[in-house]
Chain A
Amino acid sequence: GQNIDQPTEMTATEGAIVQINCTYQTSGFNGLFWYQQHAGEAPTFLSYNVLDGLEEKGRFSSFLSRSKGYSYLLLKELQMKDSASYLCAVMDSNYQLIWGAGTKLIIKP
Chain B
Amino acid sequence: GAVVSQHPSWVICKSGTSVKIECRSLDFQATTMFWYRQFPKQSLMLMATSNEGSKATYEQGVEKDKFLINHASLTLSTLTVTSAHPEDSSFYICSARPPSGGDTGELFFGEGSRLTVL
**Contact of A97 with B107 at beta-carbon distance under 8 Å, contacts A40-B114, A87-B43, A87-B44 already known:** yes
Please tell me the number of chain A residues within 8 Å of chain B, measured between CB atoms: 19
Q: What is the CB-to-nearest-CB distance from A63 to chain B, in angstroms, rounded to a whole number?
A: 17
A45 CB contacts on chain B under 8 angstroms:
106-108
Q: What is the CB-to-nearest-CB distance from A105 to chain B, in angstroms, rounded to a whole number?
A: 14
Report the bound CA distance from A80 to B106 in whole Å. 26
A42 CB contacts on chain B under 8 angstroms:
6, 93, 109-112
Report the bound CA distance from A97 to B93 in whole Å. 14
- Interface of A (DSSP majority class): loop
Contact between chains at A43 and B46 (CB < 8 Å): no
Q: Does A33 contact B (CB under 8 A)?
A: yes
B91 CB contacts on chain A under 8 angstroms:
40
* A77-109 at interface with B (beta carbon < 8 Å): 87, 91, 95-97, 99-102
Q: Does A48 contact B (CB under 8 A)?
A: yes
In this complex, what residue of A is CB-closest to B111?
A42
Q: Does A30 contact B (CB under 8 A)?
A: yes
**Contact of A48 with B104 at beta-carbon distance under 8 Å, contacts A42-B109, A43-B109 already known:** yes
A33 CB contacts on chain B under 8 angstroms:
105-107
Contact between chains at B105 and A31 (CB < 8 Å): yes
Q: Does A44 contact B (CB under 8 A)?
A: yes
B54 CB contacts on chain A under 8 angstroms:
none
Interface residues of A (CB under 8 A from B): 30-31, 33, 40-45, 48, 87, 91, 95-97, 99-102
22 A-B Cβ contacts within 8 A? Answer: A31-B104, A31-B105, A40-B91, A40-B112, A41-B111, A42-B93, A42-B110, A42-B112, A43-B44, A43-B93, A44-B109, A45-B108, A48-B105, A48-B106, A87-B44, A91-B105, A96-B46, A97-B34, A99-B46, A101-B42, A101-B43, A102-B43
In the complex, besides A87-B43, A95-B105, 6 extra interface pairs with C-beta distance below 8 angstroms are: A31-B105, A42-B110, A43-B44, A87-B44, A99-B43, A99-B45
